[in-house]
Amino acid sequence: MNIARTLALACTVSALALNGSLGGSMSVALAQNAPAGAATEYTPQSGQEGKDVVWVPTPQALVDRMLEMAEVTRDDYVVDLGSGDGRTVITAAKLGIRAHGIEYNPEMVKLAQRRAAAEGVSDLATFVQGDIFESDFSDATVVTLFLLTSLNVKLRPTLLEMKPGTRVVSNTFDMEDWKPDDEVRAGSECTSWCVAYKWVIPAKVGGSWRLGDGELKLTQTYQMLDGELTRGGQSLPISDARMDGATIAFTVDGKRHVGTVTDAGMSGQIEGGGEWSATRTGS
């Protein structure tokens, strides 16, 4: 910048200050006279517009509680949908967990990558620019998100096709009629956006099964089950029945059945002694 232009800029700034109109004009003038090659690091603002929602950072206290509630281990692969500044992914990576963020805003992606590098976890924390509704995250074992209920519901069909046992944890917003399996609050250190919900993707068991010498018919609504066992011409209702990932539990004829669902069928133990198994006969 030459002396004449420097004096001209100083006079302009002084005049604006005297007239109480500093702000956008000053920013433009300074930008126009900035040294060639100078760069300003992108700084996101809470409430800024995004593709589907405004960006608001999840409080770190809740990030920690969300990962705790998901019971993450180093065997997990965490995918954060709408990863923003990368804090959830980076927090998981600092625990030694492989984590990946999908974020629509490319400047946010770059910011998250810089932060991961600064924390020394770029080998575990990765980020990509993309649309969460067009991305494949089917290999995740934990999915985290901070969207809106309407967007959670839009994602629901995709989530329900994921491997049974996959954990989904949402900041603040629920899944409407798909009731959560767990709920947690961040604690007194958190003042806003302090509640999270967890769902465990259930195995699909709705339909007809051969259970011993009887026919077990199950109706499934997400993780909740209803149905009956028909045996010897007698209809026995099941109760207290639900899925927890690939684990099924129900009571019939006064006996509690707990087992595991696989591609081959389901089998397990009867509380009080004995084993049980069932094979699918119809959908």
Segment-wise mean pLDDT, segments of 10 residues, the chain, 283 residues: 38 36 34 48 80 85 97 98 97 98 97 98 98 98 97 98 98 98 90 95 98 97 98 96 98 97 97 96 92
The helix (run of H) or strand (run of E) holding residue 242 is strand 234-244
What per-residue confidence (pLDDT) applies to 41? 81
User: Are residues 215 and 195 located together in one domain of the fold?
Assistant: no
pLDDT attached to residue 12: 37
Q: Residue 20's pLDDT is what?
A: 36
Q: In the prediction, which pLDDT does 37 show?
A: 47
- One-letter amino acid identity for 85? D
Distance CA 279, CA 187 (A): 46
Same domain, 77 and 164: yes
CATH number of the domain within which 155 lies = 3.40.50.150
Which of 200, 223, 248 marks a domain boundary? 200
Alpha carbon of residue 167 to chain centroid: 8
Does 26 lie in the same domain as 118?
A: no
Name the phi and psi angles at 249, rounded to 5: -145, 135
In a domain, 55, yes or no: no
Same domain, 130 and 249: no
Task: Answer yes or no: is 39 within a domain.
Answer: no
Q: 31 Cβ partners below 8 Å, 6+ apart? A: none
The answer to whether residues 121 and 248 belong to one domain is no
Task: Please identify, among 200, 230, 251, the residue that sits at the C-terminal boundary of a domain.
Answer: 200
Residue 24, in any domain of the structure: yes
In a domain, 118, yes or no: yes
250 to each of 123, 163, 187, 216, 239, how far by Cα in Å?
43, 22, 34, 11, 6
Q: Is residue 98 part of a domain?
A: yes
- Displacement of CA 45 from its chain's centroid (Å): 22
- Full-model pTM: 0.83
* Same domain membership, residue 242 and residue 137: no
The answer to whether position 174 is within a domain reads yes
Do 136 and 183 lie in a common domain? yes
Domain that holds residue 269: 207-282
Per the structure, how many domains does the chain have?
Answer: 3
- 240: in domain: yes
| Whether residues 95 and 178 fall in one domain | yes
The answer on 151 and 99 residing in a single domain is yes
Please say which residue of 170, 200, 230 terminates a domain.
200
Same domain, 215 and 91: no
- Is 257 in contact with 227 (CB distance < 8 Å)? no
178 and 117 fall within a common domain: yes
**3-state per-residue secondary structure call for 95-110:** CCCEEEEEECCHHHHH
Residue 50 lies in a domain: no
CB-based contacts of 120: which residues, under 8 Å, 6+ apart? Answer: none
Do both 154 and 174 map to the same domain?
A: yes
